[in-house]
């Protein structure tokens, strides 16, 4: 069994990280976009064109939330819908030129934020932060996946 103090310390650190990264704000990363839109631009920028359904699965968002957000990003000139040549019903989303500029600004902002945080740490501590975050993110994903499987088997 996991120690309650350990769990509470990790929860407190996670809450602090969320606040320090700006995710409690209406908009994040020096943009006019909410967190879900920022993550949409980042994921499409990193993975390439994808459908709204794929985006919802990656971001763990409901279809209706994704539809509203995607519509706002299209109307704002950040995203465009394409037509799949093999199936006109499939409309992959891709970044526009404006979306690519926003993506570059998001990367610059995020990298500067992380560099600033790491500046006061030794190289060993920096590696420990990297490894710890990677392990924690994997564990969170595995836990969620296991919970989803249990829900499906009921």
Q: What is the pTM of this model?
A: 0.86
Helix and strand tally (H, E) in the chain? 6, 2
pLDDT score at 123: 97
Locate 34 and state its tokens: 């909410």
**3-class SS of residue 141:** helix
Q: How far apart are CA 143 and CA 136, in angstroms?
A: 10
Q: Which residue has the tokens 């120690």?
A: 3
pLDDT score at 24: 81
Q: How far apart are CA 95 and CA 80, in angstroms?
A: 6
User: 145 near 152, Cβ under 8 Å?
Assistant: no
Angle at CA of residue 114, ends 112 and 120, nearest 5°: 105
**3-class SS of residue 50:** strand
pLDDT score at 154: 75
pLDDT score at 29: 80
For helices 63-75 and 35-47, the axis angle rounded to 10 degrees is 80
Count Cβ neighbours within 10 Å for each residue of 12-37 and write b for 16 or more, e otherwise.
Answer: eeeeeeeeebbeeeeebbebebbbbb
pLDDT score at 1: 57
3-state helix, strand, coil in the chain (%, to 5): 70, 5, 25
pLDDT tens for each residue of the chain, 154 residues long: 579 999 999 999 999 998 888 888 877 887 889 999 999 999 999 999 999 999 999 999 999 999 999 999 999 999 999 988 888 888 999 999 999 999 999 999 999 999 999 999 999 999 999 999 999 999 999 998 888 888 888 7
CA 113 from centre of chain: 16
């Amino acid at each position: 069994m996991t120690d309650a103090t350990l769990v509470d310390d990790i929860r407190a650190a996670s809450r602090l990280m969320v606040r320090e990264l700006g995710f409690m704000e209406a908009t994040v990363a020096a943009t006019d976009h909410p967190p879900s839109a920022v993550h949409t631009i980042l994921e499409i920028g990193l993975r390439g064109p994808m459908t709204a359904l794929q985006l919802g699965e990656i971001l763990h968002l409901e279809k209706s939330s994704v539809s509203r957000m995607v519509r706002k990003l299209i109307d704002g000139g950040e995203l465009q819908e394409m037509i799949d040549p093999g199936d006109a019903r499939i409309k992959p989303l891709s970044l526009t030129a404006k979306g690519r500029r926003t993506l570059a600004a998001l990367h610059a902002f995020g990298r500067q934020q992380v560099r600033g945080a790491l500046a006061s740490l030794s190289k060993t501590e920096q590696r420990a932060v990297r490894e710890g975050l990677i392990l924690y993110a994997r564990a969170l994903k595995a836990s969620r996946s296991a919970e989803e499987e249990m829900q499906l088997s009921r």
